[in-house]
């Protein structure tokens, strides 16, 4: 059986924290550049130009793109033929986060208890989603998630009769109400179906897709395209100052659901749409 | 484009949507620090910095690397401070810097006190850090990134988001660019 060692996971996650926080993914940077071309609002254009300059400064100086270096969300797809040695996967991930945030001077933004609210001082724990998959590889996806956008996310249990029209209205209303708070142009992850928890998890994972990647399901691909067009008609624009470039992309994931339900989760990501992936 | 230097004088000429370069001394505070400042006001005690004419920046910066002034330092969402802002405006707070809209109550108080709410560009923390020349923690170091910092800024790029006449870039912007066909489509 193939093995992956604890120390290798620590080192990998540490480096992924640096990369995710200081280098804007190419697909996101290119999408902002396209939005900059397309935006009709002069203030919006100016804002998008500054965002591109920000990406350049962060990359060159190896500093955080945004001071909200987030709560770290990790998706670990573990091949069922790989054996992790030397310690627990979740502990290795947390140690990688701990070292990465300390070594690269990122902000510690996690509190130990949601009600007592004392900072843990090392940005741990990460939120880790483990998924058992085929093969003998360990696929790690690290996505530090800022809370300006996380706070604007929403979930609703629609009635089945509300159908696709209900989904569209919920997404558009969520984006409109969020206004400038989630730092538009945003990336929108939508999870439809399953149970309440499944919908939320699909919405989160959808945010990891590269900008422009469409769903393989034709009706969902069409829904993604329609949602993007609708959201860009809200007028919210870059930073909520008004404009036509409110979202860089909309990703929809679906799962079978119950005859009585239509869960919809909308997870919003800011323009600093951090996502990075390594396969060990 | 206006170049403003703190202390700010009469700000009634500023209109929502104006671009501003701000220079001078500002103070940082987020929700936790606001709560403590408001508690001090309630108990009649002095504040850790002079509030008359002051500008507060809603930011929790990344720590500075060795030899640098500060890490990434962009604005946080302002609405979290809404319930704690009016007592500070009543004490003479003149400017606030953050991102996103404000509550109707805060908007009204901004008008009443001739103050201005500026928006910095959220998610441009590395860019903004280049405008920050000096940083010192002056209160509540136990709050870590949420402590009150005294910052000297030079040509910090801002946009007037809510002016003292009721102008609001978020409302005006959406009204101008919202596509009328959207209402029928959803």
Q: How far is CA B10 from the centre of its chain?
A: 17
Q: DSSP assignment of A79-143, as one string?
A: ETTEEEESS-HHHHHHHHHHHHHHHTT-----BSSTTT--B-SS-PPPEEEEEEESSS-EEEEEE
CA gap B95, B53 in Å, rounded: 8
Residue A213 has pLDDT above 90, yes or no: yes
**Catalytic residue check, B34:** yes
User: For the segment B133-151, what is each residue's pLDDT rounded down to a tens digit?
Assistant: 999 999 999 998 999 999 9
- Domain locations in chain A as residue ranges: 2-20+65-145, 148-274
Nearest to B52 by CA among B6, B13, B112: B6
Look at residue B35 in the predicted model and tell me its pLDDT: 97
Q: Measured between beta carbons, which residues in chain B are less than 8 angstroms from residue A169?
A: 186
Q: At the topology level of CATH, where does B2-185 sit?
A: fumarase (3.20.130)
Nearest to A123 by CA among A140, A141, A143, A100: A100
User: For the segment B97-136, what is each residue's pLDDT rounded down to a tens digit?
Assistant: 999 999 999 999 999 999 999 999 999 999 999 999 999 9
Question: Cβ of A235 and B72 within 8 Å?
Answer: no
Contact A171, A224 (CB under 8 A): no
Look at residue A136 in the predicted model and tell me its pLDDT: 97
Minimal CA separation from B130 to chain A, in Å: 9
Minimal CA separation from B148 to chain A, in Å: 16
Q: Measured between beta carbons, which residues in chain A are less than 8 angstroms from residue B100?
A: 148, 179-181, 240
Q: What is the pTM (predicted TM-score) of this model?
A: 0.96
CA atoms within 13 A on the CB side of A19: 16
Q: Taking CA atoms, what residue in A is nearest to B179?
A: A233
Look at residue A19 in the predicted model and tell me its pLDDT: 97
Tokens of A188: 């929108």
- Domain locations in chain B as residue ranges: 2-185
Identify which of A41, A105, A121 has the shortest CB distance to residue B71.
A105
User: For the segment B37-60, what is each residue's pLDDT rounded down to a tens digit?
Assistant: 999 999 999 999 999 999 999 999
User: For the segment A92-136, what is each residue's pLDDT rounded down to a tens digit?
Assistant: 999 999 999 999 999 999 999 999 999 999 999 999 999 999 999
ipTM of the complex: 0.94
Count CB-CB contacts under 10 A for residue B109.
20
């Amino acid at each position: 059986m193939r093995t992956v060692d604890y120390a290798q996971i620590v080192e990998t996650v540490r480096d992924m924290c640096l990369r995710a926080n200081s280098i804007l993914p190419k697909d996101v940077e290119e999408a902002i550049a396209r939005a900059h071309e397309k935006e009709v609002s002069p203030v919006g254009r100016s804002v998008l130009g500054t965002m591109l300059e920000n990406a350049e400064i962060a990359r060159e100086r190896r500093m955080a793109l945004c001071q909200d270096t987030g709560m770290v969300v990790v998706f670990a797809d573990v091949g069922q033929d790989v054996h992790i040695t030397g310690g627990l996967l979740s502990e290795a991930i947390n140690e990688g986060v701990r070292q990465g945030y300390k070594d690269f001077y990122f902000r510690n933004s996690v509190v130990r208890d949601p009600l007592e609210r004392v900072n843990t001082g090392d940005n741990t724990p990460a939120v880790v989603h483990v998924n058992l998959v085929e093969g003998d590889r360990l696929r790690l996806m690290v996505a530090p998630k800022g809370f300006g956008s996380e706070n604007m996310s929403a979930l609703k249990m629609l009635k089945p009769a509300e159908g696709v029209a209900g989904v569209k209205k919920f997404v558009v209303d969520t984006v409109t109400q969020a206004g400038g708070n989630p730092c538009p142009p945003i990336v929108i992850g939508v999870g439809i179906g399953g149970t309440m928890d499944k919908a939320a998890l699909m919405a989160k994972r959808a945010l990891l897709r590269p900008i422009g990647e469409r769903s393989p399901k034709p009706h969902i691909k069409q829904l993604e395209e329609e949602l993007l067009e609708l959201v860009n008609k809200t007028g919210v624009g870059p930073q909520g100052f008004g404009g036509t470039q409110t979202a860089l992309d909309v990703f929809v994931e679906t799962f079978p659901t119950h005859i009585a339900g239509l869960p919809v989760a909308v997870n919003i990501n800011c323009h600093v749409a951090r996502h990075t992936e390594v396969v060990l | 484009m206006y170049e403003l230097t703190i202390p700010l004088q009469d700000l009634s000429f500023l209109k929502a949507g104006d671009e501003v370069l701000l220079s001078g001394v500002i103070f940082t505070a987020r929700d936790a620090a606001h709560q403590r400042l408001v508690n001090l006001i309630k108990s009649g005690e002095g504040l850790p910095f002079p509030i008359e004419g002051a500008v507060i920046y809603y930011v929790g910066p990344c720590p500075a690397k060795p030899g640098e002034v500060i890490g990434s330092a962009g604005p946080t969402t302002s609405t979290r401070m809404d319930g704690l802002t009016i007592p500070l405006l009543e004490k003479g707070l003149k400017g606030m810097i953050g991102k996103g809209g404000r509550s109707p109550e805060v908007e009204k108080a901004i008008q009443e006190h001739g103050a201005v709410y500026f928006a910095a560009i959220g998610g441009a923390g590395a860019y903004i850090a280049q405008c920050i020349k000096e940083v010192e923690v002056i209160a509540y170091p136990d709050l870590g990134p949420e402590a009150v910092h005294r910052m000297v800024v030079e040509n910090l790029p801002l946009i007037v988001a809510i002016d003292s006449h009721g102008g609001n870039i978020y409302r005006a912007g959406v009204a101008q660019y919202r596509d009328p066909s959207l209402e029928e489509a959803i």
